[in-house]
Every structure is written in structure tokens, then in C-alpha cells.
Amino acid sequence: MKPHWLLGLALLPAAYLGRKIRKDPQFGADAGAMRYVKEQGSVAWKMGAFRNLDKTRLQEDLGSLFGDLVGYIKAKHTQPTQPLPVATGGGPFRPESDRDYLTWYGHSALRLETGGKTILLDPMLGDWVAPVPFLGHRFPYEDYRPLADLHVIDLIVYSHDHYDHLDYDTLLAIKDRTRAFLCPLGLGAHLEKWGVPRDKITELDWWQQADIAGCRFTATPARHFSGRSPGTRNKSLWAGFLIETSKYRLYFGGDSGYGRHFKEIERRLGGQFDLTMLDSGQYHDRWKNVHMQPEEALRAHQDLRGKVLLPIHWGAFSLSDHAWFDPAERMLQADQNECVISPMIGQRFSLDSLEECRERWWKIPPNQTP
């Protein structure tokens, strides 16, 4: 572990408390602002909080946390030693009306272009994934300017309210050029707190649908949790999304451990996804119920009867003790059906040409971007 990480961990409680006392906007809405979710009659709301379909235990005792610290100190290769190659977009673009494109920005942030519309999925485009600015810094990239590629945004979709998915700084930068927002129940309270008009926000319970930006979205169960502070733990819902464009059926899984919900999604929604985007990194034994190992992501992809798998939740931040490139290497090693693609960060690729995204870019020497 780098010295700044050790210092950061030591200062974290004091920094967190200081920001909380002064009501830093990063924390978003409080539990009181989310009370309305109880009246929605959600299938996931039980005993005053949202729950998973499967019993999901989180190990958060002091012994486990200390073990994590020791693991982080001993861990190797958790960050790149050289800036990672990035496929630059070349400035603002206009989406095409007759072709669907995706761009992966690292971690779980993606841009979908379809029917002339621009849709962002979990746009964490900032530098920090923690409420205090010295933990979870983005990996160094050769050239990283994702906001320069964006013009008008027709829709932003959020899967849940954790800092590495719902980023306050990114939202402030793009909310005034965004026409609509889609999220699970309760998350809209954060958006309102940060100045998004209520009439721009659509909130869904699991299995509910909405037609926005030329697509049909169906919120689906995931196996995770929520909360930007202890007081909001599981007061807002988490979800994955079936995304139906005019040409494709896509599945964006957000954050999720492996569970029976994947087979239930296939049973209720039909499976046969042209592309699945599944949580495949930042895994840890202690988090096995809420994040998938790469091999489990492949299993979930099979449960969904997906055709092509795009691993997400890796390539941007070091939030666990595995090597930063381990998710991609393990995924490709376990991929017996050759269904996994690996687009470069920032690479805009057509959903008609997924076979072009198989370069092992994390092995490319610096300044030799293809």
C-alpha cells in the first residue's frame, strides 16, 4: 500500500466527521428525505429498509476491517505503474440515428448512443470515489477527457447511490445539459438535493418499466446495498436494468453479487441479451455477497443467456487488494465460449462490430496505443 493510503486511512474518521458536521453536499439527501419510499409498496422494502432477494450478510466487524487493512498493505500491483492507454474521442460528437454505439469510461461508467440519443450509465467521471478527497483516486491515464466528448445528454441512468457510481462532481458538471434521469426508488432524493428538478426524475421499483430517450428500461433486482452515510444505509434501492433499444436487448447489472436473481431475470424477461455489462472487479472474500468474482460474472452471463459480455467495475480505481489487471486476466482465462470483449477505455464501438473489441490493451506498452 502506498504511504498516502496509510495516511488517508488514519485520517479518514476525522475527515469524514468534519465533512458530515458541516453538511458537505457530497453526502446527498438524508434518510428523512427518502421516507416517501415506504409508501411505494416496493417488493424489496421490508422492516424499514430495502432487502435483497437472497439473504446477504456484510462482514463489517473490526476484525474483518483490520484484516482488510493488512491485506491492502501487503497487496501488490493494485495500481498501474504507467499511465493507461486511452482511446480519445476527438471532441464533441453527434450520435447517429441508425447505429448503436457504446463507450466504456472505466469502472462502470458507459455511454450508450441509440436512435440519435445519448444515454449515460453510472457516469462516475471524476477523480475520487470517496467522500473525502484522498482515498480512491482514479488510475493515471495517458489522455482522459470524457466530458469533452459530450454535448446534450438525453438521459442519465443510475444503478445505486454509492460514490463510485453516483458522483456528485460529475453530476454538477453535466446536470444542466441533461434532459432526464432514471434511477431506483429513493435515489431521486439525492438528485433533488443537488438541484435536479423533480419532473426530470423517474424512479423505478424492481420489475417496473419506463420508456425514455427512445428506449424501454426495466429495473431488475441486484444483490447489493446502498447508502452514502450510515444514516442512509439501504434507504434507497439498488438495481440492474434491461435496456431495449430499437435493435438490441442490453443488460446493465450495476453492482451485484451472484444470486438467484439472474435466473429470475431470464425467466421473467426472456434472456437472450445481445450484450451484458456485469460487475467483474473490486472483489474481495468479505464482499462475496455483494460483488462477483470474474468467474461468477461469466456464470451470471450464462444465467441471463447473454451473447456477449462486457466486464465492468474495473480499470479505474483500486478498491480492493487484487492486482488492477486481475479481473480482465481471470475473465479471459475462464471464458471458454469466447464471449468476453475488452474495449479500451474511451473506445467508441458499434454494437454491430463487437468482435473488434478484443485487444488486451492493459498489456500494451506506454505510447503504443493501437
In a domain, 368, yes or no: no
Q: What is the pLDDT of residue 172?
A: 97
Mean pLDDT of 78-82: 91
Residue 23: band (very low, low, confident or very high) from pLDDT cuts 50, 70, 90: low
pLDDT digits (tens, 9 = 90+) for 234-260: 999 999 999 999 999 999 999 999 999
Residue 136 lies in a domain: yes
172 within a domain of the structure (yes/no)? yes
* 60-64, 91-95, 120-124, 225-229: segment of lowest average pLDDT: 60-64
pLDDT tens readout for residues 43-64: 999 999 999 999 998 866 666 5
Q: What pLDDT is recorded for position 7? A: 54
- The answer to whether the beta carbons of residues 293 and 285 sit under 8 Å apart is no
Give the model confidence (pLDDT) of 268-292 as tens digits.
999 899 999 999 999 988 889 999 9
- Mean pLDDT over 308-332 rounds to 95
**pLDDT in the model for residue 269:** 97
Confidence at 91, pLDDT banded by 50, 70, 90: low
Cell of 275: 450484450
Per-residue pLDDT, 3: 46
CB 176 within 8 A of CB 194: no
- Cell matching residue 131: 467522500
Is 340 contained in some domain?
A: yes
Rounded distance, CA 212 to CA 156, Å? 10
Residue 274 lies in a domain: yes
Contact 257, 288 (CB under 8 A): yes
Cell numbers linked to 169: 462532481
- Structural domain total, the chain: 1
Confidence tier at 135 by pLDDT (50, 70, 90):
low
Residue 72 phi, psi (nearest 5):
-65, -40
- Predicted local distance difference test score (pLDDT) of residue 309: 98
Confidence bin at 100 (pLDDT 50/70/90): very high
CATH code of the domain covering residue 15: 3.60.15.10
pLDDT, residue 143, reads 86
* Nearest Cα residue to 178 out of 195, 203, 200: 200
The whole domain housing 35 covers: 3-363
Distance between CA atoms of residues 131 and 147, nearest Å: 21
What is the percent of the chain with per-residue pLDDT over 70, rounded to a whole number? 86
In a domain, residue 370? The reply is no
- Other CB atoms within a 10 A radius of the CB of residue 169 amount to 13
Which residues, in sequence order, are CB contacts of 46 under 8 Å at separation 6+? Answer: none
The answer to whether 309 and 298 have CB atoms below 8 angstroms apart is yes
Hunting for cell 441471463 — which residue is that? 304
CA distance 151 to 231: 36
Cell numbers that stand for 50 in this block: 430495502
How far apart CA 167 and CA 111 sit, in angstroms, is 15
Residue 166 contacts residue 229 (beta carbons within 8 Å) = no
- Position 262 in a domain: yes
Mean pLDDT over 130-137 rounds to: 72
Instruction: Please name which of 160, 302, 270 lies closest in space to residue 221, comparing C-alpha atoms.
Output: 160
Q: Is residue 24 pLDDT above 70, yes or no?
A: yes
Q: What is residue 245's predicted lDDT score, i.e. its pLDDT?
A: 98
pLDDT of residue 175: 97
The predicted structure's pLDDT at residue 1: 42
At 65, which amino acid appears? L
Which pLDDT value is given to residue 129? 87
